[in-house]
Structures are given as structure tokens and as C-alpha cells.
Structure 1
Amino acid sequence: MSRGDAAARRLYAWEDRVVALLDRSVVPFAQMQALVDHVWAAEGLRWPPRMRPRKATRGVLATGSRLAIEAPESLPSWVLLHEIAHALADAGEGDTAGHGPDFVGLYVGLLVRHARMDGAMLAASLAEAGIAWNPAARPVLVGD
């Protein structure tokens, strides 16, 4: 994940203030593919993205797209869910919907379903942070 544009910076600040405090679990790289596969299947999709190793840099910890999620030796589980949300938002050409309302809606859904976070609390904290999100967002490749 990159600390690039203003929408991304607002979302990352919200994650640091809210999400990171609620989920302190860490996933080792050896277990990441199983988690990706589980989330993908739970969303009703086939052919999940493949995990690929990458070295974390100062600006980018991990990246996610329809075909691959690149991550270091371990990640907080909420960061992996963030990258899975990018993969869910990618129509297959690298267009991962940035960090806009559809992406945030997909991500919040993953946090609720897979990290057992309270949806109402997340919605309230997003509103307080001024982050728009689409609670009806669906994976781009539903039925793939």
C-alpha cells in the first residue's frame, strides 16, 4: 500500500486510528495464500490472486491487484484485507478503484466479515473522518 494521494492518506490515517487498534493479529507469509483463498471463496469468487513475496519499502508495505498480492514476510491481517479489497476492486487491468467509495465499501465489508469488526462503529468512524464509502459495493468480478 502506498501513502500517495489525499484520499489514500485520509484512509491510512483512519486505519491507523481505528482499524490497527482493533486488530493486532499478524499473518506470516506462509499463511497468507490460505487467507486470500478463504476470503475469495467466501465472496463467491474463483481464481484468487496469488501471493508473491516483496520487500517492504518506506513508502509501500504491500500491493494488491486482481492477479497478485505482493507482501513481505508478515503483515497485520487488516493490511492483508486492505490488499484483498484492492484485488476485489480490480477489473483485471490494474484499475483497483484507488481508495474511493467502492474500494472502502469492499474493505469495510471484509473487516466486518473476516476481522469481526463492528460495522456500525466503522461507519461512524468513517463519517467522523470524512471518508466516503459505498456500503453496497460488490467485487468487480462477481460470478467470474
Structure 2
Amino acid sequence: MSRGDAAARRLYAWEDAEVAPRDRSRVPFAQLQALVDHVWAAEGLRHPPRLRPLPRQARATVARATRLAIEAPAELPTWILLHELAHALSSTAEGGTDGHGPRFVGLYLQLLVRHARMPEAALAASLRAAGIPFDPDARPVFLA
């Protein structure tokens, strides 16, 4: 998740206003893989992405993910980990991705509701108000 990604600026503003205030938790790197494994299994999936340290030179990047790996710093808010997991769910092993498109946002919304216990109706309404399209029935790209 790079805060400099112009295409995702609206989503990041929505997260800052709607998601971050609802989740102040921070998870140390040593516990992130266990959380990824838990969420992945709870979603009925096998073979979760592996955690790797975020390279030191990635100064403008908070975290980043593909279907196979999540790169994270020494500590990460839970909601950002869920954001990265939504990227893993909306990406293929070959590198195909929805970016921050409707499938990604739909999967992210589902993760926030199920794993961070955030209010679905309020988040969906705020996404609509912000003009951010989402697919409420999104499924992981590799299952679709």
C-alpha cells in the first residue's frame, strides 16, 4: 500500500476517515503470519501468502501484497493487513490484479466486517457516498 498511488487516493482518504478510526490495533511483525493464516483459513482457503519484511528502501510504501506474499514493516495496523489480504485475494499468482477496483474493495469490505467487526451498512454507505465502486458479492479471483 503506497500512499503515493494517485489512482487509489480516494480509497485511502476513505480509509483514513472511515476505517482507521474504528481500528487502532497494531500487530508486531512476529505475529502477522499467524493472523494471515487465521484469516485465510476462516475464509475457507488454503495456502496463505507468506510474510516477508518490507525492504528498507520502500520508504513511501506502508505495506504491499501479491497472491503469494505480503511485505510488511516491523508493526502494522490490523486494517492495513486486511487491506493487503484483499490484494492477495484479488490477485493471481501470475501477477494479475484488480488494483483498487470493485472486486478488491468488495473483498476488503468483507474482511473488515468479518475480521475487524466493522459495521457493514455504515461502511457500504460511506463507500457509496465517496463514489468508490465495490462488488458486495466479490470472491477471490482464483476461485471465480
Task: Tell me if both proteins adopt one fold, taking TM over 0.5 as the criterion.
Answer: yes
CA contact (8 A) 1:105 1:134 kept: yes
Q: Secondary structure at the match of 1:51?
A: strand
Cα separation, 1, equivalents of 2:140 and 2:43: 8
Residue equivalent to 1:123: 124
Deviation string 1:98-118 (CA, Å, 9 cap, x unpaired) is 000000000000000000000
Aligned AA (1:29)? F
Residue equivalent to 2:112: 111
Greater shift in the superposed pair: 64-73 or 89-98: 89-98
Cα separation, 2, equivalents of 1:138 and 1:56: 33
- CA-atom RMSD, angstroms? 1.4
Shift in Å at residue 56 of structure 1? Answer: 7.4
Shift in Å at residue 57 of structure 1? Answer: 3.9
Cα separation, 1, equivalents of 2:98 and 2:77: 22
Deviation string 1:75-121 (CA, Å, 9 cap, x unpaired) is 11000000000001112112221000000000000000000000000
Identify if the C-alpha distance between structure 1 residues 28 and 56 changes in structure 2 by more than 3 Å, giving closer, same or farther: farther
Cα separation, 2, equivalents of 1:112 and 1:84: 14
Shift in Å at residue 58 of structure 1? Answer: 4.1
Where does structure 1 lack aligned partners over 5 or more consecutive residues?
Answer: none
Q: Secondary structure at the match of 1:48?
A: coil
How many residue pairs match? The answer is: 142
